[in-house]
Amino acid sequence: MTYILGIETSCDETSAAVVKDGREVISNIIYSQIPIHREFGGVVPEIASRNHIIKIREIVDEAIKKANLKKEDLDAVAVTMGPGLVGSLLVGVNYAKAFSYSLGIPLIGVNHLDGHISSNYIAFKDLEPPFVALIVSGGHTHFYHVKGYGDYEEIGRTRDDALGEAFDKVARVLDLKYPGGPEIEKLAKNGDNNIVFPIVLLEKDSLDFSFSGIKSNVINYSRNNTFKKEDLACSFQECVFEIVKQKIIRASNQTGMKKIVIAGGVAANSRLREVLDGLDLEIKYPPLSLCTDNGAMIAASAYYKYLQKDYEDLTLNAVSNFCL
Ligand code: KG4
Ligand code: ZN
């Protein structure tokens, strides 16, 4: 039995979790700073790092206590080393380094995006590569051909805004609170898809995305027209999810993969799940609680590095633009 402590502080969630054998969540404590950042309309990096410092010890202790374990029972400590806000990342990285040094257990550095993908290993116990992964979060929109554990080929990415970012920016225009994704989803439920925004698919074979033009279209429309907020939210959402659907079809055709794994905050959207439902593909999403940032996905991802003894030493540093 392997118990890994996973620590996540890349943005505005301070989270720690204990995961057994890479797939079984024993505890997963998430402290969200969203209410603190809401009054600024988005995450303020300096405030985020300060709050991670205040909370990290309590959250880690709680995760271990909730797991009914002692620190000495842990086999390794894993931490998000990037991508993310550098000040926020550094809090987790330094805490994990001290933790590993004091207990004499291995330290594992995890890529946040690998963490998001790995949340599906928790949800689907028999899920194994190869598959296509689509990450749709606040900071990233990336397609990967996952060929093995830790073996990724990037096959597409956004050329401008991440999908979650587009949701957050459109939400701002509609005077909705941060984060905008869940607010737009709620509003759209009572709206009609009656405003036409362009379905931007880029070049014929491209698996890249571009959401900034649509975002600007929505913003311009809102300035120059009278409309129901519900309809604008619905029309925007339908437009971007149609794009995601078309790109998933392309990605499947190009890679020959029928197994598609979706991850990241936007994967929590129930309309996205409906839109993709009819496709002749095996599409997997993490449970809602594992879509947004959490420590369990970090521990799950670290398990495969643990098996390979892919450890870090105390020179481990945060890498804000860390690629997979
Ligand atoms: O994965 P995540 O927690 O953090 C990053 O790594 O970025 O994703 C947060 C993003 C935010 O942009 C938020 O608006 C979006 O995910 N999001 C949603 C929903 N829930 C969260 N977007 C659309 N619909 C949702 N239900
Ligand atoms: Zn994330």
**pLDDT digits 0-9 by tens, 116-147:** 999 999 999 999 999 999 999 999 999 999 99
Say if ligand 1 is within 6 A of residue 266 CB: yes
- The environment of the single-atom ion ligand 2, i.e. residues with CB closer than 5 A, is 137, 293
Q: Is 228 helix (H, G, I), strand (E, B) or coil?
A: coil
pLDDT at 163: 98
> Which atom of ligand 1 is least distant from the CA of 268?
26
Ramachandran region, residue 202 (left: φ > 0; alpha: ψ -120 to 50; beta: rest) = left
Max Cα–Cα distance, the chain, nearest Å: 63
Give me the mean pLDDT over the 207-228 stretch: 96
Tokens of 255: 């890679």
Whether 286 is in the pocket of ligand 1, judged by its Cβ within 6 Å, is no
- What is the pLDDT at residue 204? 94
Q: Which ligand has the nearest atom to the CA of 291?
A: 1
pLDDT of res. 250: 98
Alpha-carbon distance of 68 to 207, in angstroms, equals 45
Q: Is the CB of 84 under 6 A from ligand 1?
A: no
Nearest to 237 by CA among 278, 288, 194, 185: 185
Q: Answer yes or no: is pLDDT of 17 > 90.
A: yes
What confidence score (pLDDT) does residue 11 get?
96
Residue 52: the pLDDT is 98
Q: Measure Cα distances from 84 to 144, 237, 238 in Å.
A: 19, 26, 29
Please check whether residue 71 is in contact with residue 103, taking contact to mean a CB–CB distance below 8 angstroms: yes
Tokens of 61: 């202790």
Q: Are strands 3-8 and 76-82 parallel, antiparallel or unpaired?
A: parallel
Tell me the residue type at 94. N
Using CA of residue 172, residue 174, residue 175, residue 180, what is the dihedral sign?
A: negative
pLDDT level of residue 300 (50, 70, 90 thresholds): very high
| Cα 137 to ligand 1 centroid, rounded to whole Å | 5
Question: In this structure, is the dihedral angle defined by the CA atoms of residues 190, 195, 196 and 200, taken in order, positive or negative?
Answer: negative
Whose Cα sits closest to atom 7 in ligand 1? 138
Q: How far is the C-alpha of 147 from the C-alpha of 156, rounded, in Å?
A: 15
Does the beta carbon of 265 lie inside 6 Å of ligand 1? yes
Torsion of CA 215, 220, 223, 224, to 10 degrees: -140
Q: Note the helical H segments in 131-210.
A: 163-173, 180-188
Alpha carbon 304 to its chain centroid, in Å, reads 19
Determine if ligand 1 sits within 6 Å of the CB of residue 180: yes
| Residue 152, pLDDT score | 95
Cis amide leading into 45 (omega within 30): no
Single-letter code of the amino acid located at 12: D
Q: How much is the pLDDT for 324? A: 87
For the chain, what is the mean pLDDT? 97
pTM as predicted: 0.94
Give 278 or 300, the one with higher predicted confidence.
300
What tokens does 31 get? 């402290």
11 Cα: distance to centroid of ligand 2 (angstroms):
8
